[in-house]
């Protein structure tokens, strides 16, 4: 490890803590002109340790101001994941004068020789826009349960039944509870047995509605993260279900496993609460890492970053419904000019010099007769990451074996692959930062998020073909100077 890695890998566009360890995003909420990002934080080291809630705020979700630690461990345990809401109507009784923020989080008490670990749900509230917090004197408000895994409460106000709904990760299911006041909780239902992936423990649920593209209809969507299982080479990942929710029970409309992100490095993501109705977006943010190697990634003095914020929607594809992702519009103001890639026929390799600390590539690729084609991000002359489309197999493959520092994990060397409907016409958006690539394919129908650790972000981008030609057109957006 060199001191240079402190600066070399630090992202320009993504949130990372100034120092020490970070994992899951927590308590994401919009209130009085600020986006709040709380996060799992270990203030005394760069590997996972006793969890606190770190805190940052932003006006645009790209540039963040890191604030003081919001929640510290106490007699009930360390502070695991959870959510935050605005109590607009003082249902809790904490806000007699004006609305404020309530955090709903898991207290985790380590086990002893006499008893297993205990996880319970607790509250804290803030009267000053999240700058200081008071823990509820009646904590915990829910639990303990017989299940060891009983955590990660995500809470929202369900207008139709006029009650708060909590989604809670309970082993390999999600359990729903309801409350009139955030304090007194009642069991509603349990979801997950015999459906979806059960390759690891279920974590970090989020339940919400999304508009269907080109329609006035909505779908309920349940996001569930799946913890690492050493028996498989995937590591941690996130699945989702589309369906319906009646205020008590979520019903999925499919048995298939749907992945929110096909890359290795998007986990534990949830959405912001209380985005204003006039905005109307459902905005998602994930932890950009994988539990298989999160404690070993080669940064110095700090570990982990978040994905860029993404707007979610549902697209009907045939008879299926897919969650799609688009990077938020606020990102565009961080780029000042575009380098056009005029429509051209590519046979072999076409290279575009970039030499920037971060770039945003938009590209349309139309296959003429190439067997394989794609793009290569040249970080340096020796280091590169390659994205290839195989027309015979209709697959996309991201190869980071020569992307820079890779020797900290065997799984980091494995290709990341996704099956596509076809590869005849492909639309790409790729954001390259100091130590990451975020790839959205076909208007966000596929998302692939991948860490990389090169000496530089990007010196050039090349379009390449094998055995044939393609048509290519697009542009590279470069940073504001």
Active site residues: 24
Strands across the sheet containing 78-86: 78-86, 101-109, 118-126, 134-135
Q: How far apart are CA 87 and CA 27, in angstroms?
A: 14
CA proximity to 446, closest of 226, 258, 195, 288: 258
Q: 3-class SS at 172?
A: coil
CA proximity to 344, closest of 461, 471, 467, 469: 471
Q: How far apart are CA 51 and CA 46, in angstroms?
A: 12
Q: ∠ CA(476), CA(289), CA(458), 5° rounding?
A: 25
Provide the pairing of β-strand 302-303 with 20-31.
parallel
Q: 3-class SS at 2?
A: coil
Q: 3-class SS at 340?
A: strand
DSSP 74: B
Residue 359 phi/psi, 5-degree rounding, is -145, 160
Provide the pairing of β-strand 151-158 with 163-169.
antiparallel
């Amino acid at each position: 490890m060199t001191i240079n890695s402190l600066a070399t890998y630090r992202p320009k566009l993504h949130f990372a803590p100034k120092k020490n360890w970070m994992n899951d995003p927590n308590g994401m909420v919009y209130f009085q002109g600020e986006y709040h990002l709380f996060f799992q934080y270990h203030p005394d080291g760069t590997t996972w340790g006793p969890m606190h809630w770190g805190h940052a705020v932003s006006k645009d979700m790209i540039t963040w101001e890191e604030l003081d630690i919001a929640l510290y461990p106490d007699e009930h345990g360390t502070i695991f994941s959870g959510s935050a809401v605005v109590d607009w109507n003082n249902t809790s009784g904490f806000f007699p004068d004006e609305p404020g923020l309530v955090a709903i989080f898991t207290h985790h008490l380590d086990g002893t020789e006499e008893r297993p670990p205990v996880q319970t749900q607790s509250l804290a509230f803030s009267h000053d826009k999240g700058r200081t917090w008071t823990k509820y004197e009646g904590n915990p408000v829910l639990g303990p349960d017989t299940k060891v895994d009983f955590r990660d409460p995500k809470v929202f106000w369900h207008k139709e039944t006029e009650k708060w709904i909590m989604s809670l990760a309970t082993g390999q299911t999600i359990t729903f509870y309801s409350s009139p006041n955030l304090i007194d909780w009642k069991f509603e239902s349990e979801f997950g047995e015999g459906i979806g992936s059960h390759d690891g423990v279920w974590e970090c649920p989020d339940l919400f509605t999304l508009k269907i593209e080109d329609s006035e209809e909505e779908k309920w969507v349940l996001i569930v993260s799946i913890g690492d299982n050493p028996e498989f080479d995937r590591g941690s990942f996130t699945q989702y279900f589309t369906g319906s929710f009646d205020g008590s029970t979520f019903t999925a409309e499919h048995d298939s496993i749907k992945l929110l992100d096909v890359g290795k490095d998007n986990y534990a993501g949830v959405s912001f609460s209380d985005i204003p109705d006039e905005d109307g977006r459902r905005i998602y943010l994930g932890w950009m890492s994988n539990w298989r190697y999160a404690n070993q990634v080669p940064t110095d003095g700090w570990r982990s970053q978040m994905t860029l914020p993404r707007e979610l929607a549902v697209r009907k594809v045939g008879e299926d419904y897919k969650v799609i992702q688009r990077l938020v519009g606020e990102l565009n103001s961080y780029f000042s000019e575009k380098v056009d890639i005029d429509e051209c026929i590519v046979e072999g390799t076409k290279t575009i010099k970039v030499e920037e600390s971060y770039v945003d590539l938009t590209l349309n690729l139309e296959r003429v007769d190439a067997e394989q084609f794609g793009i290569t991000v040249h970080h340096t002359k020796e280091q590169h990451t390659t994205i290839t489309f195989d027309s015979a197999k209709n697959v996309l493959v991201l190869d980071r074996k020569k992307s820079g520092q890779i020797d900290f994990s065997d799984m980091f060397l494995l290709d990341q692959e996704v099956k596509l409907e076809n590869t005849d016409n492909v639309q790409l958006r790729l954001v390259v930062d100091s130590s990451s690539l975020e790839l959205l394919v076909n208007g966000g129908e596929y998302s692939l998020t991948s860490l990389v650790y090169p000496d530089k972000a990007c010196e050039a981008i090349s379009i390449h073909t094998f055995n044939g030609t393609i048509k290519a057109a697009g542009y590279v957006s470069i940073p504001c100077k």
